[in-house]
Structure 1
């Protein structure tokens, strides 16, 4: 009898830990949704993946603790574990994860900044001569364009005068 009760206590504690783990997965899911803000179809897919992961976690806990037998106290253990996690650890875990993600983001941005530094130096080296050259080319381009348009302007003016002269006769 004592062995049977201790076995049930072990199963209950295992499902309690499983509920805490499910609560942790739920917090990860909440953080992910908060960061990426998915659209409707993506939300449906994410929800499906979330429930599949939670089902796998629950089934794994049940298989390892009591050979997959589903009892009332196993559901109770999952629920109490999730509620305990939500009330006690959830806020701390969310703040910690957000802090960790911000630190990772800062590190990645610094690495990118270090990698892109030589490109910025090269850009500064080439940008000043390029601007000077572009300015000179642009000035000469517009001058050449005006010169190239002169024959067309002269031709159009000649057409006007020829029409005017023909009307007089």
Structure 2
């Protein structure tokens, strides 16, 4: 099958883009998963699920862009896209996502302390008063 130069260029660009998307997804996965010690079996299972999901997303991306032609060079370009992303953007992206997750968790802590804690304190005080009245 002969493909025009314009189509080959578009396929090239979309394959690199698919690699960059995979790199972004991998960084999001790393940030959400964290860097703590995890059971090896759980880690293997999570990694396997991630790569299956990433493969499905790349496949869907290539279907949507009408370049589902899967040759060896497409895989090479996806790997090159991942490499470009990791070398150029990964550090900043991980920092940004880490800060976003820290802000979200801080927001939840503030919500808990400002909204939930007074109600918990009120419930605790009511519980103590009920126990005192019950003992009398």
Equivalences, count? 130
Asked if 1 retains the 8 angstrom alpha-carbon contact of 2:11 and 2:67, the reply is: no
Q: Secondary structure at the match of 1:38?
A: coil
**Alpha-carbon distance in 2 for matches of 1:67, 1:121:** 61
- Equivalences for 1:73-92 in 2 at 5 Å? 73-92=73-92
**Alpha-carbon distance in 1 for matches of 2:81, 2:112:** 41
> Tell me, which stretches of 5 or more residues in structure 1 are unaligned?
138-169
Q: How big is the shift at 1:71? A: 2.1
Tell me how large the CA RMSD over aligned residues is.
Answer: 2.6
**Alpha-carbon distance in 1 for matches of 2:85, 2:7:** 24
Asked if 2 retains the 8 angstrom alpha-carbon contact of 1:23 and 1:82, the reply is: yes
- Equivalences for 1:35-74 in 2 at 5 Å? 37-74=37-74
Partner of 2:119: 118
Q: What TM-score does the superposition give when structure 1 sets the normalisation length?
A: 0.66
Structure with larger Rg: 1
Higher helix share: 1
Residue range with higher mean Cα deviation, 14-23 or 54-63: 54-63
Asked if 1 retains the 8 angstrom alpha-carbon contact of 2:16 and 2:81, the reply is: yes
Residue range with higher mean Cα deviation, 34-43 or 50-59: 34-43
- Equivalences for 1:102-141 in 2 at 5 Å? 102-113=102-113, 114-121=115-122, 123=124
**Alpha-carbon distance in 1 for matches of 2:67, 2:85:** 25
> Tell me, which stretches of 5 or more residues in structure 2 are unaligned?
none
Q: State the 4+ residue runs in structure 1 displaced beyond 4 angstroms.
A: 124-127
Q: How big is the shift at 1:73? A: 2.9
